[in-house]
Structure 1
């Protein structure tokens, strides 16, 4: 089981983060003085209604956007001091993204979809294939490597997306509404997989509007009107017995 070292420096720290937009002559504060620390190996959910600021917070944590004010430290490095090329490198090395719409390449098979982040790192082809195959085995799709997205179910496509996020061994797995396009049974399987990944030592940040999904995490950060209004630790519901997730190196039925 994953263990959080509370004495270790935080994996990420947000200090007084603000994000402001101008809509005509009106200033909108999407985030307003956000302070947050997340340790390595935590499993955290960001929850809030539409317009609460959770997506803006996710974009800043994922280095997809810059704050208007405040400091963001990731692995001890000040993100605000980085240029666009450095931020792209951080996204590629440090953060694995899982999106609601999967964002897979339609003409590429599962193996080549998972290999894609490694291309930008300059990893040799043979090593890319080895790492991508291992990641697909890890999510139970070892027998679907040559299948294109249109030959896979929604749950299988999300598993490919998770394998792609994991292939570069990122510091953070950042999942944005990962069950939003899935039926209830498949969503349960994907959440069981996240629980297994966390138990194996991965740091996971889950962004959702659904309290049932958020409850799978060990810590829930509630956001409203651009501010954190709750930050609670709780026991996760964990994987259900009827929806097992594969451990690393174990193949499971898709």
Structure 2
């Protein structure tokens, strides 16, 4: 792998409340794509605008990070609602950030669902199909960030919609290739995380919690900004990748002319 995207969740404060002590300002120059909270799990219009402006100053690709309508639970609690209601919520949030980006003369680059919504849309066929249908109709150029092998990943490929798969630097994997989600992430060793990412990029494998190496396929590395010591994790990872000659760059899209055989391509060239 010669080129990889490095993404992180940004703008996850609310009003006067922020995550960390200026951590967004410190992380933003180090990443290539920012997933900006769109108001349902975190964020508000002014925070969204400030984060978009910051991304623009550093040349970072801007992505919508829609979540369940769950400010109290930070979008990590499952909300039981119909597929139509949830897709309406997602499109609403994407539209909000797209207009704020347009106000700053910046394009919206991607969409990455947040937290429990990310997991729900990764495995629920009904919402995944409806979301891809609407996203592809409204914004066929908007890249979807997803988990490799998930339902939403498969449906995006079938629809010819641009999709980028992620590798989670600050999460563990099991032998099935699934993320081992824990309620509270502990402090992680930056050098160990950097080694893990470099191994995934150069060898295409990750060591599971059971101690086995399994293959991983991805185009982007995710480090969550609310992980303890996130700045050190991002710094160490970027330094290790650059030292290995790996370029950090947001994925680009190429939209082909629409006809019965067209499709979108995602490429890092």
Q: Kindly indicate which of the two structures has a greater share of residues assigned to helix.
A: 2
**Using CA pairs below 8 Å that are at least 6 residues apart, which structure has the higher relative contact order?**
1
Question: What's the TM-score bracket when you normalise by the shorter of the two chains?
Answer: 0.3 to 0.5
More strand by share: 1
For normalisation by structure 1, the TM-score amounts to 0.33
